[in-house]
Structure 1
């Protein structure tokens, strides 16, 4: 079910949500959080599709905030809000409201979003492409317990990563870090089996890959060695090599969904290590809403004593 509202208000949008739920017989009590997506028209479709797929695991109210550029002098002076309310089969397992903000109201998106948040439920804000310099101090980011950015999606990913390090606050995370979860799990399991001291490390990836940079910083912080960055043809991270006195521990994934794990004195093993979809990454991030301390460690390259 879809309801289009032109030149509307947050109050009218809330009424449309209530009327829509009554019409299709769907309660709101099953939703566990509010997801706010701040994007542009170009990236809105893919972002919303990923959020709707993730909602099958995390039923939520999804608010898509699109700040529209003025096309005419009249648009620059006329401030208004258009909305598209989606429920039922058109909104995954939750509710979706697409908000298009014009004129001055686009500078006060938080005042539009605030009345639409689910009461007593966590808030997650996601910037699929361009994020503010300090997400925690952004008016929308300040409403959230979790703030998700994606340094891989911007033009200068390594510079974006440095900005994330300077502005980090508990609750921040980046999908470049989320993409590393399978790599970190395999590496931790391999080191548990090998039980040897690591004396060197290298991360192989395409150039300027923020996930590779985070992985290298994580290895340096955890293993207290210098991790070399090795440029390959990609795609994304293609391999990790850990030097030990008994030989190298190697994870090699040149392409495709499979990787090969080499441990000293053991036969090679084939492991599943696919490049995960955007929906899978968002679903993982929504499983935990507390501060990701290990992300902070990797982002800043700081050593800690806790276990991986």
Structure 2
């Protein structure tokens, strides 16, 4: 069900939400959070589709804020709020309100969104494109416990990573980080199977891809070893190769779908490592709303050493190497909303490795 409102107010929008729920026969509200999407008209459709798909796992009230810029100087001073209210099948498993802000009201979007937030529920703010320099200090970002950006959508992704590191606050996260969760889990699980120390690492992928850079940062941060950044034609990440005292461990994905895990002394194994859709990435981010300390540590550690193609992410030589199990201790923070189903990377390290 869709309800269009022109030159409206937040009070009228709330009344329309109640009216829509009653009309479809489901007045009860079972939503777990409010998702605020800040985007432009061009990207609103794709962002809303991803949010609706993610709502199957996390029923939510979705507020899409679109700031419209009038071309006529005379109309720029006219403030107006138009809204489209969607409930039922048109809004996934929750509710959707598309807000189009004109004139001066566009500069006060937080005042429009505040009365529409679900009471006593977490708020997540997502910028699919055009994220602010400091999300935590942005007026809309200040409303959220979780702030989601996407470095990959920036014109200069590597510069965007630097900006994210310089302005990081607990609760910030990046979809470029969520894209490498399966890689981190797979690598940690592979290292759990061997008793060794990692000597060096090479991460290969598309040039200027922030996910490739973040994976290199994470490995350098956790293992304290030299990490070389290689460049390939993609798509995305294509290979991670770890040289260990027990022989090489490699994970290769040349086609963006199936990968091959190679461990010294074991037969090669094919593993599913498909590039995920935005809806899957958002569903992952909404499972846990606490600060992601592993992301913060990797981001702050490696961002000063970013140099684009053929860059090296490492720190000063250390007198001792870190056991491979250090990767497993912090690989994936992802668990189910009901909680606590561990991913392979969250399993305890192998006894032989822990003993080292």
TM-score (norm. length: structure 1)? 0.98
Matches within 5 A, 1:174-253: 174-253=174-253
SS at the partner of 2:74?
Answer: helix
Partner of 2:295: 295
Deviations 1:237-270 (A, max 9, x none): 0010101123211000011411000101111010
**What is the CA–CA distance in structure 2 between the aligned matches of 1:256 and 1:5, rounded to whole Å?**
43
Q: 2:267 — aligned with what?
A: 267
Superposed CA offset, 1:201-242 (max 9, x none): 011001001001000010001110121110001000001010
Distance 2:227 2:129 in 1: 28
| 1:258 maps to 2:280 | no
**1:96-141 Cα deviation digits (max 9, x unpaired):** 0000000100000000000000000000000001100000000010
**Superposition CA RMSD, Å:** 1.4
Structure 1 position 195, deviation (Å) = 2.0
**Is 1:3 the equivalent of 2:25?**
no
Q: Distance in 2 between matches of 1:132 and 1:81?
A: 22
TM-superposed deviation, 1:22:
1.1
Q: Is residue 113 from structure 1 mapped to residue 113 from structure 2 by the alignment?
A: yes
CA offsets 1:139-186 (integer angstroms, 9 cap, x no match): 010000000000001111000011000000000000000001100000
Task: Note the 1:18-57 alignment, pairs <5 A.
Answer: 18-57=18-57
C-alpha distance in 2, partners of 1:195/1:151?
36
| In 2, Cα distance between equivalents of 1:256 and 1:64 | 31
Per the alignment, residue 329 of structure 2 pairs with: 307
Any idea what SS the aligned residue of 1:97 has? strand
Q: Gapped runs of 5+ residues in structure 1?
A: none
Q: How far off its partner does 1:28 sit?
A: 4.5
**Separation in 2 of the partners of 1:214 and 1:17?**
41
For residue 282 of structure 1, what is the aligned residue in structure 2?
A: 282
Aligned to 1:129: 129
- Aligned mates of 1:13, 1:74 — CA distance in 2: 27
- The runs of at least 4 consecutive aligned structure 1 residues that moved more than 6 Å come to 302-306
Structure 2 distance, partners of 1:28, 1:287, is 23
What residue in structure 1 maps to residue 143 of structure 2? 143
Query: Which stretch shows the higher mean deviation, 245-254 or 155-164?
Result: 245-254
**Partners in 1 of 2:65 and 2:210 — Cα distance?**
26
Offset of residue 290 of structure 1: 0.4
Secondary structure (helix, strand or coil) at the match of 1:275 reads coil
Gaps of 5+ in 2: 303-314, 316-321, 331-356
User: Matches of 1:297 and 1:221 in 2, distance apart?
Assistant: 7
Q: For the residues of structure 2 that align with 1:164 and 1:171, how far apart are their CA atoms? A: 12
- The number of equivalent residue pairs is 308
Distance 1:28 1:52 in 2: 19
Aligned to 1:66: 66
Pairing of 1:164-175 with structure 2 (within 5 A): 164-175=164-175
Instruction: Measure the CA separation in 2 of the matches of 1:168 and 1:218.
Output: 16
Distance 1:211 1:201 in 2: 16
Q: Distance in 2 between matches of 1:36 and 1:118?
A: 11
- Contact 2:194–2:246 (8 Å) recurs in 1: no
CA distance in 1 between counterparts of 2:195 and 2:118 reads 48
CA distance in 2 between counterparts of 1:219 and 1:173 reads 18
Match of 1:194, SS state, is coil
